[in-house]
A and B are shown apart, each in its own frame.
Chain A
Amino acid sequence: MAKYNLKINGKTREVDVDAGTPILWVLRDHLNLVGTKYGCGIAQCGACTIHLNGIAMRSCMLPVSSVGNQEITTIEGLSENADHPVQEAWLEHDVAQCGYCQGGQIMTAAALLKNNPNPSDEDIEATMSGNICRCGTYLRIKEAIKTAAAK
């Protein structure tokens, strides 16, 4: 066990965990930030997506010891009041079914638009294909990303 000071959603949080603990479980089990989801644990589904210095990352294979000073943003910290353009577009298109994958989808989409404000269909597909939605909401996700891009 070791102590880590993590920068999460603009605040510094101290945790005392094993060095190999993935950020996913630090967030969920130690900091009660459960918006970041567990889906596979092997970087295959995207449910656990966070931003590390603004870049989308799978937190399930990201050991706490590798994060250092970098800024972590989780779905809880994406906006103050659900007013990030991606979140707004998600609501406008009524994307969610079960909703379990959507935090990860939104985090991947938000990072995509930050780097590429006007993505083509191919850009969207290439970036989003790491995020599985078992309920099959892909069509609405695509539409929502386009709406968010237009804003």
Chain B
Amino acid sequence: MKTKKKSLDRRSFLKSSALAGGGLMLTFNWFTQAKAAEAMGESLAETWHELTGYIKITPDNVIKILNPNPEFGQNVMTSLPMMVAEELEVDFEKVVVEMGPHDNAKLGPQFTGGSNSVRMYYNILRQAGATARQMLTEAAAQTWGVSADQVIASNGMLTSGNRKATYGEMASKAASMTAPKDVQLKSPSEFKVIRTAQKNVEGKKVVTGKPLFGLDYQAEGMKIAMILHPPAFGMTLKSFDASQALRMPGIKDVFSFKLFDEDFAMAGFDVRTFNEQIAIVGDSTWQVMNARKKIRAEWTERGDARETRMGRGGSQTVTIPGKLESTNYHFDEMEEGRKTAKVQRRDGDPETAFKNAAVVIEKTYNAPFLAHNCMEPMNGFADVREDSAIIAGPHQAPGWIEPTLSKVLGIAPDKIEMISTRMGGGFGRRAYGQYYVEAALISKQAKVPVKLVYSREDDMSYGIYRPMYTATYRAALDENKNLIAFHVSGGGIPESPIHANRFPAGALDNYLAESWEVPSNITIGAFRAPRSNFNAAAEQSFLDEVAEAMGKDPIQMRLDLLKRAKENPVGSNNDYDADRYAGVLELVREKSGWGKPENNGKRRGVAAYFCHNSYAAHVVDMIERDGEPYVEQVTSALDCGIVINPEGAANMVQGAVTDGIGQSFYGTMTFNNGVTDHKNFDTYRMIRHNESPKKIDVHFVENDIAPTGLGEPPFPPVFGAVANALYKTTGKRYYNQPFMNAEQPESI
């Protein structure tokens, strides 16, 4: 009984500490000793002793650490286990890392997104490591008849005087012990694993082509399934004739299916872009692809549709317009939407300040829908039986889609096994799991295990896109060129980009932020640093123009505003920490040699941004190459608190920089009567080798702040820095993305 009580205490402690960190917390029972686990009906491999949910050790000292969180390239397979290894006191290079099972109760929230993986697991995983180390130490102490503080745990070995044992030798005894109530965590100055550069633990599997991804998933008796979805947003299935398709070799089944019932209350990450589709099931991908072309389907306009969503404070039903939308219509609707703008924040008296201004600068910025274009198209495996199901594949948050699957299938969540494969990219797209729902419904109806495969065309034309955004910025200067008021009015289809409490809010006496939204049937969702990825482009490019009008250096101008925000902030709910914001600007100024005579001839742009709890600044050096602007070099400064793995972190920042250059130069998804103008990489332009920089220098602010996340923050300010470098290179301001698209409308 005593054991149980202690473990309960421990659990509640963890629960509250994790919540205090701001992470989303589901039911939590992270620490499990072998006995308790068995009592819970789990069968453990005979030779593995489980010390905590995350750590298993064999008698011959093989140490396995389970990574709890889905991997999509942010390298959590390496960085999260490093945290365990740090406190466990083992040599990281000797550790075996494995993807943990989907089990929120045991392994925590298990979601990848919002730059949260490292942040939300930082305490949990170090505590898991420390707990196991303490249990091993205690086991050795008892065995040797000494006190625990006479036992040293280091490098997977326990020593006391001249007595020595491996962790493995003590694992069995340790596993039977009560987990300690309190564990002491190291201070950052004691770190031996964290802050060391570690190679990707799956690197070798990647370079040898091992089956790692969802599309590589295989199961006994598995068939391949594809979907045929309406050709345009706003359309639905009327009728179809599959007789020809069914005669094609290898084809087993063709049928239509419905994703959700009309009144289904959708969760936050459910989407019903195309609620009724046709499924084709067959032996091999090529056969199914070919048979799909032979289906004669008739589609019709769906008309307005109603959608019910669960949310805080009950469910809400909204009308989704049925119109077949085109990009020109979107621009017109933005102008209409502007009239419905609502105030999000007002400080001081901006209207009067603008009226009395000596100079008013006003600029409008536009950005298109973007397709995620993960290299691995959407896919998912489903084996749905009478009262159980296995779902496997690449998903950022299996725990978010599981309840939806449970409702749609009528199978209890604990009867649904969710398996996470490595993801060939996510960028937010794989937080939305409708492809799992589709796979599950197809498996259920066809009564076979299926792997649903999206073609690239499916993936691109059936997207959960980054919304289309616009924002108009205004700045008021007095006769001495002081910035006296700032106004942003921004809208989006169908979601507004505005973060009203972000910089420069708090740095100005007169500030106004307004926002509006335009409903649409184009489905949208999170895309690496949602909303920020537009704001940083528009606002950071606007500030550059304002600094120029003020006759100030763009870095100094920002630092002056941040100084004001720190010393005498306006309002109390400003989102950002002015010191950390200034810190990345100062670091990038130093590292890029900004303003140094030797760099005078360079055409460079700077931008900085805060989002997802971290801070990023870039200096972009541009040249003209064959008559085209080219980003040759980038200097980046980041403040994400403690950097777990400098190697993986630098790679991720370099990737975000490259991604940002590519999206700002080329990224765009446009529509014609509900049909996407791009379906594959022949016309959807992605950044390629010859367009990526020759050098990206990454610098981190060194501090002991607990990690604040890194996947998203470096991405948004790239857009602004690129826009500002373009101005220096071409003499022209770029207001509309993608920048390398001559057909975009001119700004006001």
Q: Which residues of A contact B (CB under 8 A)?
A: 1, 17-18, 20-22, 25, 28-30, 32-42, 44-45, 47, 74-76, 78-79, 82, 87, 90-91, 94-103, 106, 121, 124-126, 128-142
B375 & A47 in contact (Cβ 8 Å cutoff): yes
Question: Could you tell me the distance in whole angstroms from the C-beta of A87 to the nearest C-beta in chain B?
Answer: 4
- Interface residues in B418-439 by Cβ distance below 8 A to A read 422-427
Closest to A99 in B: B206
Given contact pairs A98-B376, A98-B423, A100-B425, A139 touches B249 in the complex (Cβ within 8 A) = no
Q: Which of A25, A32, A121 contacts B286 (CB 8 A)?
A: A25
Q: How far is the CA of A44 from the CA of B686 in the complex (A)?
A: 10
B424 & A99 in contact (Cβ 8 Å cutoff): yes
A100 neighbours in B (Cβ, 8 Å): 213, 374-376, 424-425
Interface residues of chain B: helix, strand, loop or mixed (majority): loop
B480 CB within 8 Å of chain A: no
B313 CB within 8 Å of chain A: no
A34 neighbours in B (Cβ, 8 Å): 209, 211, 215-216
A136 & B680 in contact (Cβ 8 Å cutoff): no
Closest to B634 in A: A139
Q: Which of B199, B210, B424, B681 contacts A40 (CB 8 A)?
A: B681
B681 & A45 in contact (Cβ 8 Å cutoff): yes
B374 neighbours in A (Cβ, 8 Å): 98, 100, 134
B695 & A25 in contact (Cβ 8 Å cutoff): no
B-side interface size class: 35 or more
A106 neighbours in B (Cβ, 8 Å): 207
A45 & B375 in contact (Cβ 8 Å cutoff): yes
B445 CB within 8 Å of chain A: no
Q: Which residues of B contact A (CB under 8 A)?
A: 72-75, 199-200, 202-204, 206-213, 215-216, 218, 224, 249, 284-287, 373-377, 422-427, 455-456, 647-648, 651-652, 654-659, 662, 680-682, 686-690, 692-696
Q: Which of A34, A36, A44, A134 has the most chain B CB within a 10 Å cutoff?
A: A134
Q: How far is the CA of A101 from the CA of B425 in the complex (A)?
A: 10
Q: How far is the CA of A91 from the CA of B203 in the complex (A)?
A: 6
Closest to B688 in A: A129
24 contacts between A and B (CB under 8 A): A17-B286, A28-B285, A29-B284, A29-B285, A30-B284, A36-B209, A40-B681, A42-B456, A42-B680, A44-B681, A75-B208, A78-B208, A94-B200, A97-B74, A97-B652, A98-B424, A99-B212, A101-B375, A106-B207, A126-B690, A128-B690, A136-B657, A136-B692, A138-B658
A29 neighbours in B (Cβ, 8 Å): 224, 284-286
B425 & A131 in contact (Cβ 8 Å cutoff): no
Closest to A44 in B: B681
Q: How far is the CA of A95 from the CA of B213 in the complex (A)?
A: 17
Q: How far is the CA of A78 from the CA of B377 in the complex (A)?
A: 25
Q: How far is the CA of A126 from the CA of B377 in the complex (A)?
A: 26
A44 & B682 in contact (Cβ 8 Å cutoff): yes
Closest to A92 in B: B199
A126 neighbours in B (Cβ, 8 Å): 690
B208 & A129 in contact (Cβ 8 Å cutoff): no
B215 & A102 in contact (Cβ 8 Å cutoff): no
B206 neighbours in A (Cβ, 8 Å): 90, 96, 99, 102-103
Q: How far is the CA of A39 from the CA of B682 in the complex (A)?
A: 12
Q: Which of A47, A121, A133 contacts B694 (CB 8 A)?
A: A121
A102 neighbours in B (Cβ, 8 Å): 206-207
B662 & A98 in contact (Cβ 8 Å cutoff): no
A132 neighbours in B (Cβ, 8 Å): 375, 681, 686, 688
13 A-B pairs besides A39-B456, A97-B75, A99-B206 with CB distance below 8 A are: A28-B285, A34-B211, A91-B204, A95-B651, A96-B206, A97-B655, A98-B72, A98-B73, A100-B374, A103-B209, A132-B686, A136-B692, A138-B688
